[in-house]
């Protein structure tokens, strides 16, 4: 245990080095370390497509259908004269972005280089440092000569591309009194914030049909007045969505979001397209609009979907062509929002741990849309918050030389240990 407990940075570097050989190699390092701490370790294999969905959905093409594996390590709480303490799940994800374009890196992405106060590595901020912290937090408690009074469950479980690892564990019966998602903050604030709020998110695509002119001519330009251009019709749908967005902004409110950015819901049209980029004289057979919609936890997926569908129907009702050829709405994915109030016992313990380690009171960042904190809350009623060290230049954002701040990482380990002590108790 001493090698793990006494060298948090060294352990994170070991995970970064293992990343070169893939996710299973990372999970093996985690399993070995957890056994060294006295945990009972289980590897849970599952297929993401087989995991039931509660208050969420995803189209089949968006889900990683191959078999995946989670490492679940349980340290059984020590009984005391007053009984066991509360149980806790720490979870994080070992899977990173597919390795590519490593030539853009200025440092070896698999060496765990420490330079100018930063630890660099492929996936280090998303989310190898979170995986390291769940091991290191328990190690720090045990290294102090104490042991948790309640059960501590460490779950290194896939998340990216709808891998749904923690959901699989929850549907398999995993339960605890609370959970903490360990993941570096993408906001640039690091350990000064707690993820205790996550908006829901819907992603959709709308397709509108057109009609080519009745001609055998290759060029449609001279006959365009006899065609139905789907771009014209798609514009009616776009304007209807804009109007819906404005109505929702005026009617839907959540105090946390209002205080943070002055608005509680947004509809973003991120793509509109039709035809080929190299063909300029033909009517496209269809036009496509795609986008997303964020909504606060006090709304349901079904209600928000119904509002979008109603707006599209109303737009179609204003046009003869669209009445007979209604736009097709495809729902690509959706997750429900979730939150933990600041007066919740879990939030108070986590905030107290951050103050004890950093000397600064944390705040809630309500802008982590569709954060994984929602999974235990929505699917199992387990209060859950998230936190993590300062990190940046994430590979998933198309950047390179991903990093976490070394000192903030060490602080996160101490905070994790303090959360175990404060929530589970120690003996």
Enumerate the domain spans of the chain. Answer: 2-57+66-198+339-424, 200-335
Average pLDDT over residues 74-86: 79
pLDDT tens by residue, 289-342: 999 999 999 999 999 999 999 999 999 999 999 999 999 999 999 999 999 999
Can you identify the CATH homologous superfamily of domain 2-57+66-198+339-424? Answer: Zn peptidases (3.40.630.10)
CATH of 200-335, one of 3.30.1300.10, 2.60.120.330, 1.10.3210.10, 3.30.70.360: 3.30.70.360
Provide, rounded to the nearest whole percent, the portion of the chain with pLDDT above 90: 85
Q: Evaluate whether 373 touches 386 at the Cβ level (below 8 Å).
A: yes
Sign of the torsion angle spanned by Cα atoms 296, 300, 302, 306? negative
Query: How many whole angstroms separate alpha carbon 16 and alpha carbon 123?
Result: 8
Q: Evaluate whether 115 touches 178 at the Cβ level (below 8 Å).
A: no
Residues 382-404, buried b or exposed e (16+ Cβ, 10 A)?
Answer: bbbbbbbbbbbbbbeeeebbbbb
For helices 23-36 and 8-19, give the axis angle rounded to 10 degrees. Answer: 150
Q: How many CB atoms lie within 10 A of CB 156?
A: 33
pTM: 0.89
Task: Determine the 3-state secondary structure of 325 from DSSP.
Answer: coil
Task: Determine the 3-state secondary structure of 9 from DSSP.
Answer: helix
| Longest CA pairwise span in the chain (Å) | 90
Q: Considering the chain, what is the average pLDDT of its residues?
A: 94
Query: What is the structure's pLDDT at 83?
Result: 62
To the nearest 10°, report the CA torsion of 352, 357, 358, 364. -30
pLDDT tens by residue, 2-51: 456 679 999 999 999 999 999 999 999 999 999 999 999 999 999 988 89
Query: How many whole angstroms separate alpha carbon 273 and alpha carbon 253?
Result: 32
Residue 56 has pLDDT above 90, yes or no: no
**Residue found under tokens 């060029």:** 219
Q: Facing residues of 181 across strands? A: 91, 386
Average pLDDT over residues 420-427: 96
Mode of pairing for the β-strands spanning 384-387 and 179-182: parallel
Q: Facing residues of 325 across strands? A: none
């Amino acid at each position: 245990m001493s090698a793990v407990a006494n060298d948090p940075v060294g352990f994170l570097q070991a995970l970064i080095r293992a990343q070169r050989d893939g996710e299973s190699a990372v999970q093996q390092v985690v399993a070995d370390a957890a056994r060294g701490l006295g945990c009972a370790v289980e590897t849970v294999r599952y297929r993401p497509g087989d995991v039931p969905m509660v208050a969420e959905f995803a189209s089949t093409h968006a889900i990683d259908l191959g078999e995946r594996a989670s490492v679940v390590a349980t340290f059984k709480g020590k009984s005391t004269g007053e009984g066991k303490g509360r149980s806790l799940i720490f979870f994080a994800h070992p899977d990173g972005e597919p390795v590519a374009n490593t030539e853009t890196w200025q440092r070896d992405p698999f060496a765990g280089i420490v330079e100018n106060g930063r630890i660099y590595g492929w996936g280090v901020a998303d989310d190898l440092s979170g995986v390291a912290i769940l091991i290191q937090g328990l190690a720090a408690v045990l290294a102090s000569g104490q042991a948790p009074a309640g059960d501590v469950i460490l779950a290194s479980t896939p998340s990216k591309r709808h891998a749904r690892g923690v959901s699989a564990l929850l549907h398999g019966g995993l339960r605890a009194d609370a959970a903490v998602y360990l993941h570096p903050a993408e906001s640039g604030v690091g350990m000064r914030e707690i993820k205790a709020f996550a908006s829901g998110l819907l992603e959709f695509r709308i397709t509108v049909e057109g009609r080519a002119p009745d001609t055998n001519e290759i060029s449609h330009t001279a006959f365009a007045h006899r065609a139905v251009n789907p771009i014209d019709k798609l514009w009616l749908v776009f304007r209807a969505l804009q109007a819906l967005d404005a109505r929702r902004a005026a009617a839907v409110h959540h105090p946390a979001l209002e205080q943070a950015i002055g608005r509680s819901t947004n509809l973003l049209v991120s793509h509109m397209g039709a035809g080929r980029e190299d063909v300029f004289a033909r009517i496209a057979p269809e036009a496509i609009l795609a986008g997303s919609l964020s909504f606060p936890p006090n709304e349901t997926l079904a209600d928000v979907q119904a509002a979008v569908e109603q707006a599209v129907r109303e737009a179609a009702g204003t046009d003869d062509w669209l009445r007979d050829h209604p736009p097709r709405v495809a729902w690509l994915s959706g997750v429900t929002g979730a939150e933990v109030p600041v007066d919740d016992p879990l939030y108070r313990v986590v905030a107290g741990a951050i103050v004890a380690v950093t000397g600064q009171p944390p705040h809630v960042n309500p802008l982590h849309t569709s954060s994984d904190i929602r999974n235990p809350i929505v699917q199992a009623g387990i209060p859950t918050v998230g936190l993590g060290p300062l990190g940046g230049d994430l590979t998933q954002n198309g950047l390179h030389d991903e990093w976490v701040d070394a000192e903030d990482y060490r602080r996160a380990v101490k905070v994790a240990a303090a959360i175990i002590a404060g929530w589970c108790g120690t003996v």
